[in-house]
Amino acid sequence: MEHDHADPDSAGQLHHIELYAADFDAAVGFWEWFLGELGYELKNDWADGRSWKNNPTYIVLVSADTDDHPFDRTAPGLNHLAFHAASRERVDALTEAVRDREDATVLYEDRHPFAGGYYALYCEGPEGVKLEVVAPE
């Protein structure tokens, strides 16, 4: 796996995120699809992990050593990840695609697409990680 150094032009922006999955095979199918829809491309692939890159930011998915502590977005720690969308139409297309998937769920259907007060998709992927895709104004 290659190592990345900081890009000084991206100072203060997110460099990378690393996620651990109890069921790596199930999780990788979702993340590969979801991140691909957002313009990420495969960066690295190894026995217990995979990563995808979009400009200077990359996301890593690794097989967890244990499933003793399932993810709980309502507990202290990470609640969700939010991504930029190119358009409202992109948010709508992703929403419909999530509805068709068995490994993800659209959240807040009764308030969609304005659940947070702005146009966005809120969904939950495998392992309970909440994801948001925010449309431009």
Of residues 4 and 130, more confidence is placed in 130
For residues 76 and 96, what is the distance between their CA atoms, to the nearest angstrom?
A: 31
Tokens matching residue 109: 């259907």
Q: What is residue 10's DSSP assignment?
A: G
State residue 11's pLDDT score: 85
* pLDDT tens-digit series, residues 82-125: 999 999 999 999 999 999 999 999 999 999 999 999 999 999 99
On whether the CB atoms of residues 84 and 77 are closer than 8 A, the answer is no
